[in-house]
Structure 1
């Protein structure tokens, strides 16, 4: 009786990585650390944001390690352009900069993670693997900064909340606002309470002033 043929075991495809950094020594160092890890393959290295965008399109890597500040096109812009053309690559920012604004810009651009260049080899490898699985990668220090930046970010007013506040600024009462917007006075009060909470104020005048200072009524 003929024995069934057992197909040979196939190895899983390696995680492909593109490294973008304007310092050759850093690129080579990151590449050496990743190439020593099983299941990870560095398929390209870019010396700037423009080159990173081009290589990401041609190489279609699983993960892009992106420096934040590079020449004419920075890492945030490069990240946005890469993700505008394809959602496949997961971009992990690897940089020496850790200000709240830098972190927030990178995450808002679509970065899947944010690591500092002082991170250990093990942390870097774990980050690449986690990003490839679709997970968010943030070191504890960065996560705390991102939380604070999000908390300080002013919340946008809805269209109706903005309309109500504009009329408050013109001196209209809640009843007048309700009639002009064709909504009940109680609804006007509800909108104002939400505005107070978003702007962290306790009265109508303070709400108008805070919204004007933040450019929410322009």
Structure 2
């Protein structure tokens, strides 16, 4: 039996995963957490075989939570989930210590396949997703930290710095500092250029 911990700040999504695995004889949702702090507390209290971890959560995002989980349970398999483009975000997730990265719109069979593979100690990548960066990618957004990548994606989706700060529970000044570092690392001058860059590399449509 594969005991799962589902970590997502949306109750409906957690419920959907629970319904999905209910008919699978070898899978069991052992616990749910609405944020990273709760997830870490649960991981300290009981053993899990795999964590399904959302990237976008308020005070403690998925990458912050992953770092803490790795410190507490270094061998615990983790699949990261989000709505971001798989081909770009997968490298960042694996570089941060995840065993797999999947978009939340992945079909049921692939999610189940990924869960079973990762639970047995393997890394799972969706069909058609390459982990080999191009020379330009290696020299640019590959250098962004997980938090910087998250802020960049939110900016390119038209979210204001104030709103980003509220969602991530960070000050506007801190978000502004992230933005400045992102522009510097990518060699860009403005949000408009950041959007163009994101579109060129498939981060946004």
Shorter-chain TM-score category?
Answer: 0.5 to 0.7
Instruction: Please say if 1:77 is aligned against 2:82.
Output: no
Using a 3 Å threshold, how does the CA distance of structure 1 residues 149 and 54 change in structure 2: closer, same or farther?
Answer: farther
Which fold has the larger relative contact order, with Cα–Cα distance below 8 Å and residues 6 or more apart in sequence? Answer: 2
- Equivalent residue for 2:24? 37
TM norm structure 2: 0.63
**Residue deviations 1:129-154, cap 9 Å, x none?**
1011111111124x23x323687324
The aligned length equals: 142
- Asked whether the equivalents of residues 43 and 59 of structure 1 are also in contact (C-alpha less than 8 Å), the reply is no
Of 35, 39, 50, the match for 1:63: 50
- Equivalent residue for 2:138? 153
Of 93, 103, 109, the match for 2:90: 103
> Aligned partners of 2:115, 2:36: CA distance in 1, in Å?
20
CA shift for structure 1 position 36: 1.5
> What is the SS of the residue equivalent to 2:133?
helix
Aligned CA RMSD, in angstroms, stands at 2.3
Q: Which has the larger radius of gyration?
A: 1
- Asked whether the equivalents of residues 104 and 150 of structure 1 are also in contact (C-alpha less than 8 Å), the reply is no
> Aligned partners of 1:127, 1:99: CA distance in 2, in Å?
14
- Asked whether the equivalents of residues 6 and 33 of structure 2 are also in contact (C-alpha less than 8 Å), the reply is yes
79-88 or 130-139, which deviates more: 79-88
**Mind listing any 5+ residue stretches in structure 2 that lack a counterpart?**
140-183, 186-205
- Return structure 1 stretches of 4+ with deviation > 4 angstroms: none
